[in-house]
Amino acid sequence: MRWRDQRQSTNVEDRRGMSGRGIAIGGGGLAIVVILAAALLCGVDPTQLIQNMPTEAPPVQQPQTTGNNVNSQDENSQFARAVMGSTEDIWREVLPKQAGVNYSEPKLVLFTDQIQSACGYTTAATGPFYCPGDRKLYLDFAFFRELKEEFKADGDFAQAYVIAHEVGHHVQNLLGTMSQVQRAGNNNRLSVALELQADCYAGVWAYYAAQKGQVEKGDPEEAIRAAASVGDDVIQRRTTGYVRPDSFTHGTAQQRMQYFAMGMQSGDMRKCQTFR
């Protein structure tokens, strides 16, 4: 991905190194199983995790530092800011034209190990996530290492896809889709549809990023490999040795590839009707 010469977003809060230590996780074995499963998923719905967490989180000791810490200009931060800048520029144009809704920019929060958001107290084990309560994306860069080493999905565009997927959830929030799903309660079918639509919206972003010359040869394949690597069937087969379709929350590898590709090939949000 050609990101080094792109505009960098100012909507990034760098909180790395600000979290305390000594997490205590309660709830017994069930809570641990849920957290470990969520760790393997990209863009997990934090509200589902919170239901399995203790009602009171341990206090977090935070040093008195600002978000603009010494790490704010490292390469990871510059990359994330450039990808966010690209999503802002593209969705600011696309969303009003295709959906008649003005785009308000979310913030990306970079953290290490654990974070407190409007959706509750969360650890990096959940993977990247979007919190509709504060309209912020949360990312621990350790997930990018996991994506490369554990999921064999390497490349900067694979990482950009992860951020774009979470921005896709922000688009859903602006359109009211996310609140409709949340009102429906715990429904795996709707959860899958929500995640696949976010994949498709990430593809729509990629379509316009390519139009702007930000996408290089081989980048789409990187993103598709990343989408496939976090399919529910792939993850379940790796972790348990068998697949349970009734427990899917994000969709199969084939579905995730399909909807990302659909968005990237068309650039049309109307193609992302996963709820039908």
For the chain, 276 residues long, the average pLDDT of each consecutive 10-residue run is 92 82 33 38 47 43 39 80 97 98 97 93 90 96 85 85 96 96 88 95 97 92 86 79 82 91 96 92
Residue 202: name the closest of 220, 187, 180, 186 by CA: 220
Residue 14 pairs in a beta bridge with 110
Q: Is residue 240 part of a domain?
A: yes
Q: Is residue 172 part of a domain?
A: yes
Count the domains in the chain.
Answer: 1
State the pLDDT at residue 115.
93
State the pLDDT at residue 73.
61
Q: Is residue 5 part of a domain?
A: no
State the pLDDT at residue 24.
28
Q: Is residue 214 part of a domain?
A: yes
State the pLDDT at residue 190.
94
State the pLDDT at residue 149.
81
Task: State the residue range of the domain holding 60.
Answer: 12-272
For residue 254, the tally of other CB atoms under 10 A from its CB is 13
H/E stretch holding 276 reads none
Q: Is residue 27 part of a domain?
A: yes
Q: Which residues, 6 or more positions from 110, have their beta carbon under 8 angstroms from its beta carbon?
A: 12, 13, 14, 15, 16, 76, 77, 80, 139, 140, 141
Residue 10: name the closest of 103, 74, 72, 98 by CA: 72
Q: Is residue 124 part of a domain?
A: yes
State the pLDDT at residue 194.
95
H/E stretch holding 242 reads none
Q: Is residue 266 part of a domain?
A: yes
Q: Is residue 6 part of a domain?
A: no
